[in-house]
């Protein structure tokens, strides 16, 4: 993922930073997204979207995540798993039939923190 540059036209409050990326998963795949949010930031959120930047229908399942929903790993990092089928892991994000799109991580009140390193791994799910 890369930092989303804000030249003032995104109208974001000071201290809010974004990362963004394109994603693509086949029905038998999942995308693992791992990052370590600073302990002192009050809020982060993750939203996958279709190619028109529309978020998915949250009435049906968990289609996004944030620091209130996600269960962190023992070391404080967070691993989200984005896929069509539920692989039976914590922090699953349902893609609702979409196989590609955009995704964004937003961090509030980052202060002097740099945008976080985010790692991704495409994995094959077993049936």
What is the distance between the alpha carbons of residues 29 and 26, in angstroms, rounded to a whole number?
5
What is the distance between the alpha carbons of residues 89 and 56, in angstroms, rounded to a whole number?
20
pTM for this model (two decimals): 0.83
> What tokens does 9 get?
């036209």
**How high is the pLDDT of residue 126?**
82
User: Would you kindly state where each structural domain of the chain is located, as residue ranges?
Assistant: 13-124
**72 conformational bin, left if phi > 0, alpha if psi -120 to 50, beta if neither:** beta
What CATH superfamily classification does 13-124 receive? Domain of unknown function DUF1214, C-terminal domain (2.60.120.600)
> What are the φ and ψ backbone dihedral angles of 97, each rounded to 5 degrees?
85, -10
What tens digit of pLDDT does each residue of 20-61 get?
A: 889 999 999 999 999 999 888 889 999 988 777 767 677 777
What tens digit of pLDDT does each residue of 57-81 get?
A: 777 777 789 999 999 999 999 999 9
């Amino acid at each position: 993922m890369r930092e989303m540059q804000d030249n003032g036209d995104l109208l974001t409050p000071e201290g809010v930073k974004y990362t963004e990326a394109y994603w693509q998963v086949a029905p038998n795949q999942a995308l693992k997204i791992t990052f370590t949010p600073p302990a002192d930031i009050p809020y982060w959120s993750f939203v996958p979207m279709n190619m028109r930047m529309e978020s998915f229908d949250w009435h049906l399942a968990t289609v996004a995540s944030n620091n209130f929903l996600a269960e962190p790993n023992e070391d404080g990092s967070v691993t989200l798993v984005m896929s069509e089928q539920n692989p039976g892991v914590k922090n699953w994000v349902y893609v609702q039939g979409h196989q590609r799109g955009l995704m964004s991580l937003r961090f509030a009140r980052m202060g002097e923190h740099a945008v976080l390193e985010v790692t991704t791994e495409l994995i094959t799910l077993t049936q």
